[in-house]
Structure formats: C-alpha cells, structure tokens
Amino acid sequence: MRGADQTGWHAADTITVTCSADSRAHEVPDTELAAAARRSDGHYQALCGHRVAAAPMVEPDGQPCLLCAAIVERTTPRRSARQRILG
C-alpha cells in the first residue's frame, strides 16, 4: 500500500532537475520522475510543489531552489551532518 506518496517523500531519493521556466534547480523525487515518464508530458512535481519543465541536460544547473533545498535539509539533517563530520 502506498497511500502516503504525496506526503511521504524522502529527500534522499531526489534528483536535481533545472526548470527551463524559472532556471532554478529543483529537487524532484525519483518516484515522481518514474511516474512522469509514464505520463510523458515533460513536467515533474518538485518537492517545493513547483511544476518543473526540465531544461536540456546539456545546460548547466541553475541556481538552487531555496525551498527545495530547505525541505531536503529538514528531512535529512542528521545523516548529512554526520557524513560531513566523518568525511
């Protein structure tokens, strides 16, 4: 059962995707990428709620989306801090 998909995203399973509309690099859950591949509309729902129109992969990443970054940091605080300390 996967009834909590909308609220149960795990930040560890995200991919950074730059949006061609706002040029921000958003964090998109890999489950959303898989679901979007079936829809083939070219849009992904980022953690922040933004509908990402993926920029061409050859373009460099845009400025990070601060809301996505905050959500990732909030949902995985201890693991990433520990990894930094341990190297």
Q: By the criterion CB under 5 A, which residues form the site for Zn ion? A: 26, 46, 48, 50, 65, 68
* Residues shown for the chain: 87
In the chain, % helix, strand, coil (3-state, to 5) comes to 40, 25, 40
> To the nearest whole angstrom, how small is the minimum distance from the Cβ of residue 85 to Zn ion?
27
- Closest separation in Å from C-beta 76 to Zn ion: 16
Q: Cβ of residue 80: shortest distance to Zn ion, in angstroms?
A: 18
Strand pairing partners for 17? 26
**Nearest residue (CB) to Zn ion, 1 versus 27:** 27
